[in-house]
């Protein structure tokens, strides 16, 4: 049976940029949300890497299409749970807290918190790739707060197997690669 490493997260967080770095495959990336439509798959050895479309709200995209994408991702994860070696939840560390706070103020569970809980409830091995760290001014404080929203008590440095600060655009993804290496060995 082949194992999959799946990249999931809201639109525009940098999933495809990271996918390129991990696989060398030149999938489309872009400034506009909703660049990736269908999932892209690349096999490297015994592992298939999967780049998913963006999850959740996207400006300018029809609600019906968004719901369809969400349903597709949820169904994919549920059906393939056994084959998924690692789920990489990619977040934009530079905007995560601001967006999450907006949801909390409206009395809602932030989408990305909900997604993280969904992934862990499926018993998947989940790592949060905190991307765009090049735009974050106070990295340790920001990572502490992100971890806290996801149920991981600070300091975030206790959770280096679950939170990987990266900058996909700059090719600085070593913390994530280390987690993947360990996973492939086990």
Ligand X SMILES: Nc1nc2c(ncn2[C@@H]2O[C@H](COP(=O)(O)OP(=O)(O)OP(=O)(O)O)[C@@H](O)[C@H]2O)c(=O)[nH]1
> Which string of x and - marks every residue 3-42 that binds ligand X (by CB under 6 A)?
--------xxxxxxx-----------xxx-xxxx------
Q: How near is the Cβ of 21 to ligand X at its closest, in Å?
A: 9
Report the alpha-carbon distance of residue 80 to residue 42 in Å, rounded: 16
Sign of CA dihedral 146, 149, 155, 161: negative
Stretch near Mg ion under the rule CB under 5 A, chosen from 7-15, 39-47, 115-123, 146-154: 7-15
Nearer to Mg ion, 52 or 152 (CB): 52
Q: Residue 63, Cβ neighbours under 10 Å: how many?
A: 9
Nearer to ligand X, 56 or 154 (CB): 56
Annotate 103-126 with DSSP letters as a single string.
HHHTT---HHHHHHHHHHHTT--E
CB-count burial class (<10 Å; 0-12, 13-18, 19+) for 186: exposed
Edge-to-edge strand ranges of the sheet holding 3-8:
40-44, 47-51, 3-8, 84-92, 126-131, 163-165
Find the length of the chain.
186
Contacted entry of Mg ion, ligand X, none for residue 132, CB cut-off 5 to 8 Å set by kind: ligand X
Stretch near ligand X under the rule CB under 6 A, chosen from 73-81, 100-108, 129-137, 141-149: 129-137
Degrees to nearest 5, angle at CA 3 with 84 and 71:
40
Residues 39-78 that bind ligand X (CB under 6 A): 53-54
Contacted entry of Mg ion, ligand X, none for residue 13, CB cut-off 5 to 8 Å set by kind: ligand X
147 binds ligand X (CB under 6 A): no
Q: Which of 57, 54, 144 is nearest to 97 (CA)?
A: 144
Nearer to ligand X, 133 or 152 (CB): 133
Residues 152-181 that bind ligand X (CB under 6 A): 167-169
Contacted entry of ligand X, Mg ion, none for residue 23, CB cut-off 5 to 8 Å set by kind: none
Question: Which residues would be at the binding site for Mg ion (CB under 5 A)?
Answer: 15-16, 35-36
């Amino acid at each position: 049976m082949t194992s999959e490493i799946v990249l999931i997260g809201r639109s525009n967080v940098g999933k495809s940029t990271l996918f390129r770095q991990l696989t060398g495959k030149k999938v489309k990336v872009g400034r506009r949300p909703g660049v990736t439509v269908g999932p892209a798959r690349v096999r490297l050895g015994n592992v298939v890497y999967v780049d998913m479309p963006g999850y959740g709200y996207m400006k300018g995209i029809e609600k019906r299409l968004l719901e369809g994408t969400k349903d597709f991702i949820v169904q994919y994860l549920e059906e393939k749970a056994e084959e998924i070696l690692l789920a990489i939840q990619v977040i934009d560390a530079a905007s995560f807290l601001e967006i999450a706070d907006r949801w909390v103020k409206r009395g809602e569970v932030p989408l990305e918190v909900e997604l993280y809980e969904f992934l862990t409830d499926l018993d998947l091995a989940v790592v949060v790739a905190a991307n765009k760290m090049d735009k974050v001014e106070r990295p340790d404080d920001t990572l502490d707060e992100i971890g806290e929203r996801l149920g991981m008590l600070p300091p975030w440095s206790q959770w280096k197997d679950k939170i990987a600060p990266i900058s996909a655009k700059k090719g600085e993804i070593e913390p994530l690669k280390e987690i993947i290496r360990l996973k492939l060995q086990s």
